[in-house]
Structure 1
Amino acid sequence: MIQTLELPVAGMDCAACARKAQRALMRVPGVQSADVLLTAEKAVIQFDAGLATADALRATIEKVGFSVPQAVPAAAEAPSGHLLEAKALQRQLFTILGILFGTILFVVVIGEGLGLFEELTSRVPMWLGVLVVLAFGYPIFLDVLRSALRREVTSHTLMTVGAVAALAIGQWATAAIVVFFMRIGEFTERHTSERARKLLKEMTALTPQTARVLREGVEREVSIEAVVPGDVVIVRPGERVPVDGVVLEGQATFDQAAITGESMPVEVEVGGKVYAATLAKLGYVKLSAQRVGRDTTFGRALQLVEDAEANRGRVQRVADRFSAWYLPVVATIALLTWWLSGNLLATVAVLVVACSCSFALATPIAMMASVGAAARQGLLIKGGKVIEALARCDVMLVDKTGTLTTGRPQVTDLVSLNQHDEAELLRLAATAERHSEHPLAEAVRRFAMERGTAALEPEQFESLPGHGVRALVGGKTVEIGNDRMLKTWTDAHAVAEIAQRFEAQGKTLLFVAVDGRVAGLFAAQDTLRPEIAEAMVAVRAAGIKQIELLTGDNERTAAAIASPLGLAWRANLLPEDKIGIVREFQRQGHRVVMVGDGVNDAPALAQADVGIAMGGGTDVAMEAAHIVLMREDWRLVAESVRIATRTMRVVRSNIGFTALYNLLGLSLAAFGLLPPIYAAALQSIPDIGILANSSRLIRVGEAKHD
């Protein structure tokens, strides 16, 4: 039986750490897949429960030098937290002292080489120099030794060999400088990883750890894990909502920035929905809990951000494979250098200048930063491969109702035929549409309510996807639908002229038949979202040149909507037709992004290279689409494309810079043109450059959120 297990992993500082733990897990019999996520600090493992156990997997992680924290009671957390803080402070002090010493030593050695200082390092006894190197490099050397015992080669292995070789030829200062820059690189990686983790920590901190619930008529404060769907939860002003729920009593203003990225407060009354992690500004409410914990909208968003690193794209997989082969290649170059030239210093320089971590870091930090920053703006992106795919898209297909338009059409006209009384026709239509979920059905029911006409319970009801509905009302067969259904009626010509007049105005028509004869029609109009024109300009500027409207409406309505926006259009489409159009573009070699409402368009969203759902966090949208807009704002569509292109630009520049830099460094070192001490100094530059470049994405996200 295949099971999935998530384990927290503490002690990882760089991408090499995550790879080491991942390789160890994959060697465990029964493990099908393992993703060790540096930024989320966890391992996601799929394994055969008959061959492997959770305890064995924990032991494997601990055996390679990391820890698997256990859940502990709140009372026990304080001493543990203080101990961790003390260790972190100790490590920081040691790092600061090491950097100061290393900087001074580096300046002295360079000064000696330039003739600015007397030979100071030569006066230091060799045994003392060896002690300095061992003391400063102890944590790294111990890790390399443990890896060697497991027959593993890490990014620090080659540099450690280089440091030992420098000691062997009596150059303790060179060995110390090598270790110094190893520690600098390690510190930089840890710092940048922590910055990426900061996004997760800030999001996690928004979720309350307790909730105030009514149990047996008594208000009690319980842990969030103890809340179950159906509980009545109380939220007071200034508190964050602990669950997704519906307001049962009261009224309040909520800051929903944590969910939608929109800072403007929203007024919620009885019957309205509220989401976990949103902040109650004013008012007091009682909620009926619908989703709790990881099942809440915010919990699922947090899960997507955590899993972003595991959802690797093609570029990241190539970088991972290259990184795995890079160290053996460098070792081979070093051996060839020694064999062909006999120059031990050049060999040491080759080992020291090699920088493999930068290849591993080129992609994941950038992806994590972008997915986290997007989530804070109300954009849920399901991982790195989605970002990569979106950056390559050149065609955008767009649904109309609920996507380009607000999804709340209003009935503007009612025309009755064949001596049917208008009020009676409205009653029959509203009753027939009572159980339909289509926006036009809702518009008919709303129109009837405004006219004081009550919708009754139909005796029979049948939904006809892509056409309309059929119901039995008071012994009469009532059919309501689009022009596809109209064509099946014998007297369809009776409304042709009226229909043309309304369609020319860009209105959508619903035709009504009673007992097989046309009885009238409804004309409805849906308004375009106010930001659409601005957003379309931004989408094209972001790189999507071909945008096409797909709608089930007729040609006149489609043209009236699409033409002012400069869009191509296709009309009279069924849901399955949209999938065919997506596939048609894909067969032509295009990369397609589909934008829909996340309900009727779910199949097309799933088929597209990237599906963007304006679902506001609905289950269907979360499952079918690759990107979910937590607020229905088309400017987020353009922003998602900008995020993707910006991220891939950073990733490609990272990889290109690393490849060129390492090629140049290895060449100079192998030909003896780069002394070991300069090789050590140059070794950490790719790491620092890549991390600084990727950090731009974190800063952009922080600036937009602020």
Structure 2
Amino acid sequence: MGATRPGTLLLAVALAGLGAGLVLQGGGRADLAHAAWLAGSLPVLAALLAEIGRSLLRREVGLDIVAALSMSAAMLLGEALAAAIVALMYSGGTFLEAFAEGRARREMRDLLSRVPRTATRHIDGRLEEVALDAVAPGDRLLIRQGDVVPVDGQVASGTAFLDTSPLTGESLPVRLDRGAEALSGATNAGDAFDLVALRGARDSTYAGIVRLVEEAQRSKAPMSRLADRWSLGFLAVTVAIAFAAWWFTGDPVRAVAVLVVATPCPLILAVPVALVAGLSRAAHFGVLVKGAGPLEAMARIRTLVLDKTGTLTDGRPQIVRIDARGGMAPDDVLRLAAALDQVSKHPVAQAIVQAARDRGLPLPVPRDVAEVPGEGVTGTLDGCRVAVGGQGFVAGQLDGAAGDPLDAAPGAVTVAVGVDGRMAGHLVMSDPLRKGAAGMLARLRGQGIARILLATGDRDDVARRVTQGLGLDGIRAGLTPDGKVLLVGAERRNGPVMMVGDGVNDAPALAAADVGVAMGARGAAASAEAADVVLLVDRIDRIALGVDIARRARAIALQSVAAGIGLSVAGMIAAALGYLTPVQGALIQEAIDVAVILNALRALRIAPPEAPSTPFPQHEATA
């Protein structure tokens, strides 16, 4: 609130001057009332002239000039009461705008205020409180009930229940099992658990979110700059009407009344309030927009370009079929493969382990383990010799023939499992579409996006199989990062382009697009830095939700501007015709300004259709 203290002081001075003058006027001391009104107006006028000077040095011309003209003219023509009302109106409007923006940014301030400063670390059998910057990858931390997770890490003991609502807007806690990754910024809603740090504080998810929030708060929308340019036209209209009223009637008071009605203009109040409210609302649902500019650009998107792996698809292989042989049950094939794969860090191995845990299968600890990187793993489980890996690797561990290899669809991965020298079965894995992808694309079509394209470095046959039935307007396969940039540039001929990606290879295209959207929950840091919008939760349906919020916030801003300017122009014409005195005009304009700001604040209550209200599926929450 320190930044708003001068505005509060000016408002207090203007209010005191107006109130004292009214009391003195009622007591029959018109001369002292006139002096009190001037005393309350002069400090506001001085501050206003200083602000106009600073704006001119920045080569900006705004509607503050109208306020200065109306106050100066009212004082010179003896309309001290009108000048006092204008001073109160201007200082009050500035204060109300600051209050409204502060209300709209509350969600973002909550993110910043939640940044933990210390962490509780295990060391030599004891606990110590250390500064957050002292936490290093590999440190074992204690996360007590109610603590904010300080760094990204893996759950190392028991089960964790985390409240992710400050990051994602989800109302219910998310359950994370041992080994799952917990993102910094979530709150421990269950019992205490241990966390092994994966990243330092500066590199963790929450620190990156805070940096993005700070960037968003410092931004100014292109639409706001457009409002500044519109203000020149409105200023010319105001001066013309005031001059005409004076010229044709010979009454300078009418000119003052016209200037008063135009002070201050809703144009400079409605746009920033509505867009900042839209930023806050989007952040509530886990869509972090880096500024009001990208939010306004999202509302005008005509073409969407999507990366495949990790964006349109889940990005993690999942078991879609288990082929059991030799009398083995499918769950037994999975259990043996997962138990042995516990020792491997290969992404496919970790996916198999997670699938077994999701089914509640017991996973014994293997013995006599040997791993050939990129090929497979062998070891002993329950007295059996087990081999897991590619078809060729497992076949080399068998006593007899491996049998016919399993046919799989393009892009699928087949993992063979051998037990005691014979083939026990195969696990077929693929990278499926994200849940909600089809519905999200349909919603975007309904929001006016005319073209939706897939851009991937994968093979064309794989891309077409995965996206079959989605109704895409085009598939561009085998693209390099430069190829994605060229595609974005080519599509800009059809209108503003949004690019969605998650990897380092997507970062150049994200930067080239009118709006770049990064899958921030699991995506690379480079893509998050290059993007204009970061999805804080691993759900692609939030893209449509963010676009909906952007469109509605922009519509509210334009609606407020149109209504406010229309009412102001009507008031100026009435004043020019002699139907409004300067005092009446000031009161009417104050009512217009309050109505405009309250209307702009409606963006805080945007409730997109199908807004998420259920907890994430566990495999998404653990990302």
Q: What TM-score results when the alignment is normalised by the length of structure 1?
A: 0.64
Where 2:448 maps in the other structure, the secondary structure is coil
Equivalent residue, structure 2, for 1:562: 467
The answer to whether the 8 A contact 2:298-2:515 is kept is: yes
Q: Distance in 2 between matches of 1:701 and 1:159?
A: 37
Quick check: 1:650 aligned with 2:556? Answer: yes
CA distance 1:342–1:300, shift in 2 (3 Å): farther
Structure 2 counterpart SS, 1:211 = strand
Counterparts in 2 of 1:216 and 1:145: CA distance versus 1, 3 Å? farther
Q: Distance in 2 between matches of 1:677 and 1:589?
A: 52
2:298 is the alignment partner of 1:390: yes
Separation in structure 2 between the aligned mates of residue 324 and residue 99 of structure 1, nearest angstrom? 31
1:613 to 518, 521, 524: 518
Q: Secondary structure at the match of 1:606?
A: helix
Using the alignment, how far apart are the partners of 1:154 and 1:611 within structure 2?
32
The aligned counterpart of 2:326 is none
Q: Do the aligned residues in 1 keep the contact of 2:11 with 2:92 (CA within 8 Å)? A: no
Give the direction of change, closer, same or farther, for the CA distance of 1:442–1:281 in structure 2 (3 Å limit). Answer: closer
Q: Distance in 2 between matches of 1:139 and 1:216?
A: 64
1:309-343 Cα distance to aligned partner (Å, 9 max, x none): 54444322222344478658756765675466532
The residue that corresponds to 1:469 in the other structure is none
| Contact in 2 for aligned 1:326/1:356 (Cα 8 Å) | no
Tell me the residue number matched to 2:108.
Answer: 200
Aligned partner (choices 482, 503, 512) of residue 598 of structure 1? 503
1:248·1:287 contact (CA, 8 Å) conserved in 2? yes
Query: Where do 1:288-687 residues align within 5 Å?
Result: 288-291=196-199, 295-323=203-231, 330=238, 334=242, 338=246, 341-356=249-264, 358-406=266-314, 407-410=316-319, 412=321, 456-457=371-372, 502-503=408-409, 508=412, 524-551=429-456, 557-570=462-475, 572-576=477-481, 579=484, 582-583=487-488, 585-586=490-491, 588-618=493-523, 619-687=525-593
Report whether the alignment pairs 1:10 with 2:17.
no
* 2:41 pairs with 1:130: no
Deviation at 1:381, TM superposition (A): 1.5
Contact kept? 1:246, 1:274, Cα under 8 Å? yes
What's the CA shift for 1:195?
A: 1.0
SS at match of 2:266: helix
> CA offsets per residue over residues 158-203 of structure 1, 9 Å max, x none?
5455345445544444444434434542443233133124233322
Against the structure 1 CA distance between its residues 693 and 237, is the aligned structure 2 distance closer, same or farther, given a 3 Å change threshold?
A: same
SS at 1:320 equivalent: helix
Report the secondary structure of 1:588's partner residue.
helix
Letter in 2 for 1:639: L
C-alpha distance in structure 2 between counterparts of 1:211 and 1:123, whole Å = 65
Relative to structure 1, is the Cα distance of residues 238 and 646 closer, same or farther in structure 2, using a 3 angstrom cutoff?
A: same
Does 2:82 correspond to 1:178?
Answer: no
The residue number in structure 2 matching 1:243 is 151
* 2:166 paired with 1:262: no
3-state SS of paired residue (2:494) = coil
Q: Which amino acid aligns with 2:250?
A: G
2:191 to 275, 279, 283: 283
Q: Percent of aligned positions with the same letter in both sequences?
A: 31
Residue 145 of structure 2 contacts residue 191 of structure 2 at CA under 8 Å; is this kept in 1? yes
TM-score normalised according to structure 2 size? 0.72
Once the two structures are overlaid, the 10-residue window that deviates more, 276-285 or 616-625, is 616-625
Are the counterparts in 2 of residues 238 and 281 from structure 1 also a CA contact under 8 Å?
A: yes
Any idea what SS the aligned residue of 2:86 has? Answer: helix
Aligned residue identity for 1:129: A
State how far apart, in whole Å, the 2-side matches of 1:459 and 1:296 are.
29
Q: Is the 8 A contact 2:301 2:449 kept in 1?
A: yes
Name the SS for the 1:362 alignment partner: helix
Segments of 5+ residues of structure 1 without an aligned counterpart are 1-8, 14-64, 67-87, 106-119, 415-426, 461-477, 480-497, 513-520
Counterpart-to-counterpart distance in 1, 2:218 and 2:320: 48
| TM-superposed deviation, 1:383 | 1.6
- d(CA) in 2 for partners of 1:352 and 1:253? 58
Any idea what SS the aligned residue of 2:2 has?
coil
Say how many residue pairs are matched: 553
2:142 counterpart of 1:234: yes
Contact 1:595 1:612 in 2 (8 A): yes
Runs of 5+ unmatched residues, structure 2: 324-336, 356-362, 376-391, 394-404, 417-425, 614-623
Please say if 1:273 is aligned against 2:178.
no
CA contact (8 A) 1:582 1:608 kept: no
Q: CA deviation at 1:639?
A: 0.1
Q: Is the 8 A contact 2:294 2:515 kept in 1?
A: yes
State the alpha-carbon separation in 2 of the partners of residues 242 and 511 from structure 1: 37
SS at match of 2:534: strand
User: Are the structure 2 counterparts of residues 308 and 578 from structure 1 closer, same or farther at C-alpha, using a change threshold of 3 Å?
Assistant: same
Question: Aligned partners of 2:564 and 2:302: how far apart in 1?
Answer: 29
Amino acid at match of 1:547: I
